[in-house]
Amino acid sequence: MAGVAVGTVSRVLNDNPTVAEPIRCKVHEAVARLGYQLDPVAQSMRGNRSRLVACAIRDFDIPRFGTFIREAEQVLRVAGYTLLLSSTTNSPAVEVALLRAFESRKVEGVMMTVSDERNAEVLAALARAPMPVLAIDRDRLPGIDRVAADHRSGAVAAMAHLLELGHRRIAMLVGDTRAFPSRSRVEGFRQALAAAGVAPQPRLLRDRVLTAEDAFRETMALMNLPEPPTAIFVAAMDMLGGCLRALRQLGSQVGRDISLVAGSDSELAELHEPPVTAISWDLAAMGRHAATMLLERMGSAEVEVGRSLLLPTQLVIRRSCRAP
């Protein structure tokens, strides 16, 4: 219909700048009249390019991850890529299987979290992966770029705030310490106690808090100790709701009977009465940086291997903490 060769149509549809404007207009007019649409599957088979990038995270129940995904997807879409989402369920076996599946579907790049940064099978799968992989909020993995937040400094700031108020029995709810965020938060927790000359109390540190039910159960257990904590640092991602539910059931009022700090800021922390002091970092920027770094790696084999970007955290002080 356009009266040009197939190769010319291909160059027009792929935005090749060598095609003259009058011919480009004729092709686009024919496309519009025919209602023609590109077939990405056929394109990938012919050019060995899928234009797909995958993102695999622990689960989809953490609202703040939506900010990361939205910003990353925007960067990738502008570059002509489609983002696939999957959940790792915090399982090394699932992570290994997903990497195989992404390879079979010719995914060109992967952003992902891993549950255990020392798991031999996961490390081997990452080393075998034919596509570039970027670690989301994880430690330095061999040959893997990463974008992460400075959780250790955030934990130090949170603990310093509570210690300055006079708290000495400070409990911590934290996630899986086999992964960078929780491990860093525990390091910051212990660093702040040591700096203040306060001996750690092992029973006040509760790890593997991965669900709201875990947070509820551990808060109930802590508050029923013979000497309950006077403050709780809910360092596990998005576990504030479970902790608040337990405190409400116990009749303990935040900011009066118990001081509270959330390890990740959220609408719940901001809108709760009283508003909850929380650690904040820019997840939108993290998403943009992650997508940009992955595109750079996909576009050039000469990009430095194992790049690391650590985003700062800040403590947002609200009315949930007071002297014990």
- Dump pLDDT digits (tens) for 71-90: 999 999 999 999 999 999 98
Q: Using 50, 70 and 90 to split pLDDT, how confident is the model at 49?
A: confident
- pLDDT score for 40: 56
- pLDDT score for 121: 97
The answer to whether 171 touches 204, Cβ cutoff 8 Å, is yes
- pLDDT score for 228: 98
Q: Are residues 80 and 102 in the same domain?
A: yes
More confident residue, 140 or 311: 311
Q: Using 50, 70 and 90 to split pLDDT, how confident is the model at 48?
A: low
Q: How many distinct structural domains can be found in the chain? A: 3
- pLDDT score for 117: 92
Answer whether residue 45 shows pLDDT above 70: no
List the domain range (segments joined by +) for residue 196. 151-280
Cis peptide before 274 (omega within 30 of 0): yes
- pLDDT score for 84: 97
- Does residue 128 lie within any of the structural domains? yes
CA atoms within 13 A on the CB side of 118: 6
The answer to whether 285 touches 148, Cβ cutoff 8 Å, is no
Answer whether residue 62 shows pLDDT above 90: no
- Does residue 90 lie within any of the structural domains? yes
Nearest to 91, CA basis, from 62, 119, 132:
119
Answer whether residue 260 shows pLDDT above 90: yes
- pLDDT score for 47: 55
Q: Check the CA dihedral 167-162-319-175 and report its sign.
A: negative
- Does residue 319 lie within any of the structural domains? no
Calpha distance 283→95 (Å, rounded): 22
Cβ neighbours for 1, distance < 8 A, ≥ 6 positions apart: 30, 33, 34
Q: Are residues 159 and 195 in the same domain?
A: yes
Q: Are residues 295 and 228 in the same domain?
A: no
- Does residue 129 lie within any of the structural domains? yes
Q: What is the mean pLDDT of residues 123-144?
A: 94
- Does residue 265 lie within any of the structural domains? yes
Lowest-confidence region among 10-14, 110-114, 228-232, 312-316: 10-14
The answer to whether 213 touches 243, Cβ cutoff 8 Å, is no
Residue 116's identity, in one-letter code, is D
Answer whether residue 291 shows pLDDT above 90: yes
Answer whether residue 226 shows pLDDT above 70: yes
Lowest-confidence region among 35-39, 162-166, 207-211: 35-39
Q: Are residues 63 and 127 in the same domain?
A: yes
Answer whether residue 16 shows pLDDT above 90: no
pTM: 0.83
- pLDDT score for 236: 87
CA atoms within 13 A on the CB side of 177: 15
What tokens were used for 241?
């709701």
Q: Are residues 107 and 182 in the same domain?
A: no
Answer whether residue 95 shows pLDDT above 70: yes
Which stretches of 17-169 are assigned E, i.e. beta strand?
52-57, 82-87, 109-112, 133-136, 145-149
Calpha distance 217→236 (Å, rounded): 14
The CATH number of whichever domain residue 58 belongs to comes to: 3.40.50.2300
- Does residue 87 lie within any of the structural domains? yes
Q: Using 50, 70 and 90 to split pLDDT, how confident is the model at 249?
A: very high
- Does residue 73 lie within any of the structural domains? yes
- pLDDT score for 304: 86
- Dump pLDDT digits (tens) for 233-248: 999 888 999 999 999 9
Nearest to 137, CA basis, from 95, 179, 74, 83:
179
Q: Are residues 179 and 245 in the same domain?
A: yes
- Does residue 219 lie within any of the structural domains? yes
Instruction: Describe the crossing of helices 180-195 and 151-164 by its angle, rounded to 10 degrees.
Output: 30
Q: Are residues 130 and 90 in the same domain?
A: yes
- pLDDT score for 42: 57
Q: Are residues 29 and 69 in the same domain?
A: no
- pLDDT score for 318: 98
Q: What is the mean pLDDT of residues 60-72?
A: 87
Cβ neighbours for 73, distance < 8 A, ≥ 6 positions apart: 83, 287, 291
Q: Are residues 216 and 293 in the same domain?
A: no
The CA–CA distances, whole Å, from 14 to 10, 23, 48, 171 equal 6, 14, 15, 58
- pLDDT score for 41: 52
Q: Are residues 145 and 287 in the same domain?
A: yes
Q: Are residues 308 and 212 in the same domain?
A: no
Calpha distance 18→21 (Å, rounded): 9
Average pLDDT over the chain, rounded to whole? 93
Q: Are residues 217 and 302 in the same domain?
A: no
